Structure 1
Amino acid sequence: MNQAKSRNNSGKTQPMVQPDTHNLQLIPWEVNEGAVFERQIRLVVLFALAVFVVYIFQLWYLQVAKGPYYRNRSENNRIRTETIQSPRGIVFDRHGVPLVENRPAFHLMLVREDVKDTETLHSVLQTVSALSGKSLEELEMVLEANKSKRRFEPIRLIADIDRDTLAKVEARRLRLPGVYVEVVPRRGYKFSGTAAHLVGYLGEISEEELKKAAYQGYQPGEFIGKGGVEKSLEAFLRGESGWRQVEVDALGRHIRSLQERLPIPGRDLWLTIDLDVQRTAEECLKGKMGSIVAVDPNSGEILAMASSPTFDQERFVRGMTSEEWKRIIADPSHPLLNRAVSSAYPPGSIYKPFVAVAALEEGVVSPTSVISCPGYYLYAGRRYRCWKDTGHGSVDVHRAIVESCDVYFYTVGMKLGVDTIATYAKMFGLGELSGIELPSERPGIIPTRDWKLKATGIPWQKGETLSISIGQGFNQVTPLQAAMAYAALVNGGTLWTPKLVHRLEAADDGEQDVVKAKVRRRLPVRKETLEIVKGGLVGVVNEARGTAHGIALKEVALGGKTGTAQVVKMGENVNRKAHQRALPEHQKDHAWFVGYGPAQKPEIVVAVIVEHGGHGSSGAAPLAQKVMRKYLEKTHPELRGREDAGVSTVEDDGD
């Protein structure tokens, strides 16, 4: 054995003992730990390898096996939410005849996001122009007007394309990326032009209207009511739009619907007008400017409301150019103006019955009081002439109404004064808004002393009362006011609010809201006074000297009052007939007539105004008779087939 030597602390050398390595053994736990570690490494490697294989397989499956499918879906398919317009409510006449319906309209739409670049967009517009006949400039103007829209928002390129254009577009859809056809309900005016002012028309909502609270929730491009009941009852007729979530391809074609909420249709509207009476009124006004209003005096229901000239409602639905719109606006005949409610005229002699009511009620005259008419009324050294130059002689209130004596009403008017006359005229609803469900109604004017001072700064002159007494001067009333006032006169003193809507009906469940007639006021006028005045009105038509004797019917007694409203003031010593003949058409007198029938139990009141129509007896009364007869034929068969009325037989008639 080898021995090593070592030194201790004392410096002496001592032998070092070496360990015996032959007898050493490994401890068991060290061997087990190594095996476990090796197994763990192998498992990790195997797991990683499996994940890698799965990953590689999935990549191969997605990119190779299913690559074209998913690439096509990712590039071409999109989810869009589309608005589903609600169909507007249908408008019927009182007998259920539809005046306004809905039809399908096909709009050509463009989504710019689906068009790759500017060059492709230009090519699409060129193709659309060739297919539709629209110029490229028009289409580019549409894009320019909608440039503020986001690229994924649809733009209406062309509204309401025809069937031929639709077929051409559908056949070339593959060459029109971003273009698709939208189908929406569109207004259809079955008798376009008939009751146009009353029903109204639709037009695209403007930017100014979109800012108004009344149109909150509306979208650019929507059509809204622009006149008549289409406008005033927009909230009921419009309904509530729905929506649809759809999947579309790159060409804008629908692949499938995902979900949707159906729209709620607008409420159907039943009007009080009678289509037959309405058409008769419009036929009477053909070629004339004016208005005819027919009402039921027992309920205030509007039976007809015609204004002439009229207009084609379909032109607005189809769309018109700015030049066409400018021509309509510049038309001196104002075809869009509803003369029944938006035009006020001097009432002329149709005003006299209300002056008669005031005179009788105030005790200025009695039914038997007589006033002499020499053909003029002398005031402040000036002669105010009667329409009959030779005068009427001794006249009581009955004869004054029948023959429309100006001098009689000059006399009682001066005794009453302007303010008292105004009190009674306004009592009958003249000079104030009627409350009808139509836009743009004018109140007219019934003057008083205070009114003139505020309006002009000049005090009332007593001589002005003379003109007021015969319906001239500052007086202005609408045809609707005249009809409602006479209805109150002949029905016993009840002034109704005009009723145009009979009921509203829900299209989905048939729920109905019937609109009740509304009384504006009960007139504080004695029945005896009303009967006296009504007797005069019956005499106007049925007595030989009545100013409307020419329209009398043998089968049914009518009543009414003629009126001639001066447009140009006549000189003091000028012959009335010669003056009228010398005037150009636009300066001739307006012709008025307000009539009713049957005389004893009125069922209809008709007010007629013909602008520059001359005498009321010849220019307006025959028209009113036709309208009344058309309505009364339904309850009085004996009137059917009777010949049209002639004209007044009163010689030298000035009314």
Structure 2
Amino acid sequence: MSHLNDTDGELHRFRKRIMALAIFVLFCFFLLLLRFVWLQIIRHSNYAAQADENRISIVPTMPARGVITDRNGVVLADNYSAYTLEITPAKIQGKVDEVIGELSELVEISPFEIKRFKRRMEETKRFESVVLKSKLTDAEVARFTVQRYRFPGVEVQARMFRQYPLGEVASHAIGYIGRISQKDMDRLPEEEETNYQGTTHYGKEGIEKNYESILHGVTGYEEMEVSASGRAVRTLSTRSTVPGSNLILSIDIELQKVVEEAFGKRRGALVAMDPSTGEILAYVSKPTFDPNLFVDGIDQQNWDALNTSINRPLINRPVRGAYPPGSTYKPFMALAALELGYRTPQAAINDPGYFNYGNHRFRDDKVGGHGIVDMYKSIVQSCDTYYYVLASEMGVDTMHDFMKQFGFGEKTGIDLPHERKGILPSTQWKQSAYRNPAQKKWYAGETISLGIGQGYNTFTPVQLAFATALLVNNGSAARPHLVKEIEDGVTHERRPVVTETVKLDLKQENINVVKRAMVGVTTEGTAARVFGGAGYISGGKTGTAQVIGIGKNEKYNAAVLAEHKRDHALYTAFAPVDNPRIVIALIVENAGFGGTAAAPIARKAMDYFLLGKKSSPTPVVPAVTDSAEYPDMPDEDVQPMITPAIPDEDSTDEE
């Protein structure tokens, strides 16, 4: 009996063990089933994608960048194809330096190219190719191809390169492209990031930057099946690229060349525009530079030459250079006096050659004065005293409110990056511009110099051109722009670029008074000898702007000053008088009188534009000058400063 009980107990224990083992096995199978569901159902898409990534490579194909031409079809920025030697760091065998050393036996690689490659490699993901050498010759391509098997991860690729056929001509307007940086990528809108995958270059300045998204086009791709070694097996699918749109600029490149040649080696800027359309006809910033240097990375020697030059060739002067307008401001002051009721055309003053304000004397440019001066004579002979008196009567805020409508102190909206606002002073402006409470106060004596375009007044050449266009085109002008038309890269259909037209509420009889006086400048005034025998009637205004302050009882003497401290020469012009087709604003830095240095350049530009002449005889220097007034240094309670210390507007200017 005892034996049977033991057998039954053992059998019961055995069955329990079998049951436990079965449950354990079933549990393991259940875990395997769960894992299977996880891998094959829940995570299927992820693992399938990983498998495809090992098998499939997405290769972006770059679109052709849009071409830039002038208004007559002359190519200003174009593309050409060339071979590049590229390394994919993740695929090479051995150290990068060793691979480059072996490649140097086949292809000439300079130290600059090696340094540039390493810098780019730090900015690029390891599985992306990095250009080591650009623009390989046919012989270099052939030598590498024969030895290709020795260099896994190294490829010769055909790429498109940007070129600027005219070199330095109009370079500040066109701008340039350069290697795309992480900062460039970070600035891209989120929806554009995919379109820039694989992109190597990006617009850095000028039109190239401002119209980057239009010029770039749409990136295509090739979906390639690759072997384990990374070799392409077959193409699975493709998406075609869409070439960038072409830009037709409003610039007449022949007019541009005429003006740049007229400047010679002098520094300065010129903006010529059609007031009715806003089209920029010539856009000059001197000195200039060769944009081709920047396309594939500028070398240190050329960069230092450009960046450290005292002439500052990289500064885009028409939109970045802020200068006192000098006597070119007087026509606007005259119009303000008429519109606001401070003067009539016939009202005259007696100019003894100076204007006393408090205990200080503001001298006129003409010793002994101009005698009896009405509004016409004040512009034609550029009488400073007339505008000293007018400024003292009007006050800074009245001048500010009137001048603001002409765009002074505001961006014009020209289609270029980094445009400055300039400074149109007011009491409110000074309070916000300075931190020191003593500097925030506006002194009455500071108002006087504003009347002749000095003091805190600083405007860009493009602002001066736009303001002049509004004045001489009877209070109406389109905002300036450089792109005339945009041409679709596929259909070649063109759409014109139209900008806002600004219209001012001004009395025509007052505009006529000022325009008649500006015509007098070219027929009997400070620019008369420059425009003698021109074959057309134009209007204009000469100007000379002081660069540094002159101490009490001192006289201005250019001969004893360093060149960069001498006066700027300015000129504004328009023609034909009745229906202006061209308006010009220009400055020649540190060149002296506007009638001597600036007006002759405007004459050459107008001769070409209106008459088709590419050159004209060197004009005779006019006898009448328009030099800036240099007042005695004031006491602290008056402070009428000609060239005050002005805070950098970029500290508050939004870019």
For the 8 Å contact 2:527–2:599, the answer to whether it is kept is no
Cα distance in structure 2, aligned partners of 1:347 and 1:391: 22
- Return 92-101 or 478-487, whichever deviates more: 92-101
Q: Which amino acid letter does the alignment assign opposite residue 594 of structure 2?
A: G
Q: 1:614 aligns with which of 556, 573, 592?
A: 592
After superposition, residues 151-230 of structure 1 pair within 5 angstroms as 152-214=127-189, 216-217=193-194, 218-219=196-197, 222-230=200-208
Cα distance in structure 2, aligned partners of 1:462 and 1:163: 73
1:118 corresponds in structure 2 to 94
Q: Which deviations, in whole Å up to 9, do the C-alpha atoms of 1:356-378 show, x marking residues without a partner?
A: 01111112111111111111011
For the 8 Å contact 2:71–2:484, the answer to whether it is kept is yes
1:491 corresponds in structure 2 to 473
Structure-2 change in CA distance of 1:164 and 1:337 (3 Å): farther
Cα distance in structure 2, aligned partners of 1:163 and 1:370: 78
Identity value in percent = 39
Q: 1:464 aligns with which of 415, 430, 446?
A: 446
Cα distance in structure 2, aligned partners of 1:349 and 1:100: 38
Is 1:557 aligned to 2:533, yes or no?
A: no
For the 8 Å contact 1:625–1:645, the answer to whether it is kept is no
2:463 corresponds in structure 1 to 481
Structure-2 change in CA distance of 1:652 and 1:271 (3 Å): closer
1:538 corresponds in structure 2 to 519
Q: Which amino acid letter does the alignment assign opposite residue 359 of structure 2?
A: G
For the 8 Å contact 1:180–1:251, the answer to whether it is kept is no
Give the C-alpha shift of residue 332 in structure 1. 2.6
Give the C-alpha shift of residue 568 in structure 1. 1.2
Give the C-alpha shift of residue 455 in structure 1. 1.6
SS of equivalent to 1:602 = coil
For the 8 Å contact 1:86–1:240, the answer to whether it is kept is yes
1:71 corresponds in structure 2 to none
Structure-2 change in CA distance of 1:353 and 1:164 (3 Å): farther
Give the C-alpha shift of residue 167 in structure 1. 3.5
Structure-2 change in CA distance of 1:149 and 1:299 (3 Å): closer
Give the C-alpha shift of residue 83 in structure 1. 1.5
1:529 corresponds in structure 2 to 510
Q: Which amino acid letter does the alignment assign opposite residue 331 of structure 2?
A: P
1:6 corresponds in structure 2 to none
Is 1:314 aligned to 2:284, yes or no?
A: no
Cα distance in structure 1, aligned partners of 2:565 and 2:126: 58
Structure-2 change in CA distance of 1:342 and 1:143 (3 Å): closer
1:129 corresponds in structure 2 to 104
For the 8 Å contact 1:114–1:250, the answer to whether it is kept is no
SS of equivalent to 2:578 = coil
1:436 corresponds in structure 2 to 414
1:10 corresponds in structure 2 to none
SS of equivalent to 1:531 = helix
SS of equivalent to 1:530 = helix
- For structure 1, which runs of at least 5 residues remain unmatched after alignment? 1-76, 635-639
Structure-2 change in CA distance of 1:572 and 1:600 (3 Å): farther
TM-score by length of 2: 0.82
SS of equivalent to 1:620 = helix
| TM-align CA RMSD | 2.4
For the 8 Å contact 2:381–2:624, the answer to whether it is kept is no
Structure-2 change in CA distance of 1:606 and 1:250 (3 Å): farther
Is 1:235 aligned to 2:221, yes or no?
A: no
Structure-2 change in CA distance of 1:221 and 1:241 (3 Å): closer
SS of equivalent to 1:130 = coil
Q: Which deviations, in whole Å up to 9, do the C-alpha atoms of 1:171-201 show, x marking residues without a partner?
A: 4323333221111221111111111111110
Cα distance in structure 1, aligned partners of 2:536 and 2:403: 29
Structure-2 change in CA distance of 1:137 and 1:421 (3 Å): closer
For the 8 Å contact 1:626–1:644, the answer to whether it is kept is no
Structure-2 change in CA distance of 1:148 and 1:286 (3 Å): closer
Structure-2 change in CA distance of 1:247 and 1:113 (3 Å): farther
Is 1:88 aligned to 2:65, yes or no?
A: yes
Structure-2 change in CA distance of 1:598 and 1:156 (3 Å): same
For the 8 Å contact 2:179–2:201, the answer to whether it is kept is yes
1:273 corresponds in structure 2 to 251
For the 8 Å contact 2:113–2:133, the answer to whether it is kept is no
SS of equivalent to 1:364 = coil
For the 8 Å contact 1:281–1:306, the answer to whether it is kept is yes
- Return 208-217 or 228-237, whichever deviates more: 208-217
2:83 corresponds in structure 1 to 106
Is 1:649 aligned to 2:622, yes or no?
A: yes
For the 8 Å contact 2:216–2:244, the answer to whether it is kept is yes
SS of equivalent to 1:367 = coil
For the 8 Å contact 1:177–1:252, the answer to whether it is kept is no
1:302 corresponds in structure 2 to 280
Larger RCO, structures 1/2 (Cα 8 Å, 6+ apart): 2
TM-score by length of 1: 0.82
Give the C-alpha shift of residue 251 in structure 1. 9.3
For the 8 Å contact 1:180–1:253, the answer to whether it is kept is no
Give the C-alpha shift of residue 163 in structure 1. 4.1
After superposition, residues 326-405 of structure 1 pair within 5 angstroms as 326-405=304-383
Cα distance in structure 2, aligned partners of 1:464 and 1:271: 42
Cα distance in structure 2, aligned partners of 1:353 and 1:144: 54
2:555 corresponds in structure 1 to 575
1:426 corresponds in structure 2 to 404
Cα distance in structure 1, aligned partners of 2:499 and 2:112: 54
Q: Which amino acid letter does the alignment assign opposite residue 210 of structure 1?
A: M
Give the C-alpha shift of residue 558 in structure 1. 1.4
For the 8 Å contact 2:258–2:614, the answer to whether it is kept is no
1:515 corresponds in structure 2 to 497
Cα distance in structure 2, aligned partners of 1:489 and 1:650: 27
Give the C-alpha shift of residue 254 in structure 1. 6.1
Give the C-alpha shift of residue 324 in structure 1. 3.9
SS of equivalent to 2:518 = helix
Structure-2 change in CA distance of 1:318 and 1:164 (3 Å): farther
Q: Which deviations, in whole Å up to 9, do the C-alpha atoms of 1:278-314 show, x marking residues without a partner?
A: 1112112221111011001222111010101111111
Larger of the two Rg values belongs to structure: 1
Q: Which amino acid letter does the alignment assign opposite residue 94 of structure 2?
A: T
Structure-2 change in CA distance of 1:278 and 1:253 (3 Å): farther
For the 8 Å contact 1:200–1:226, the answer to whether it is kept is yes
Give the C-alpha shift of residue 330 in structure 1. 2.5
SS of equivalent to 2:616 = coil
For the 8 Å contact 1:177–1:251, the answer to whether it is kept is no
For the 8 Å contact 2:604–2:616, the answer to whether it is kept is no
Cα distance in structure 2, aligned partners of 1:151 and 1:127: 20
For the 8 Å contact 2:175–2:291, the answer to whether it is kept is yes
Structure-2 change in CA distance of 1:272 and 1:462 (3 Å): same
Q: Which deviations, in whole Å up to 9, do the C-alpha atoms of 1:411-443 show, x marking residues without a partner?
A: 111111111111221111111100111000001
- For structure 2, which runs of at least 5 residues remain unmatched after alignment? 1-53, 629-655
For the 8 Å contact 1:87–1:239, the answer to whether it is kept is yes
SS of equivalent to 1:595 = strand
SS of equivalent to 1:328 = helix
Q: Which amino acid letter does the alignment assign opposite residue 595 of structure 2?
A: S
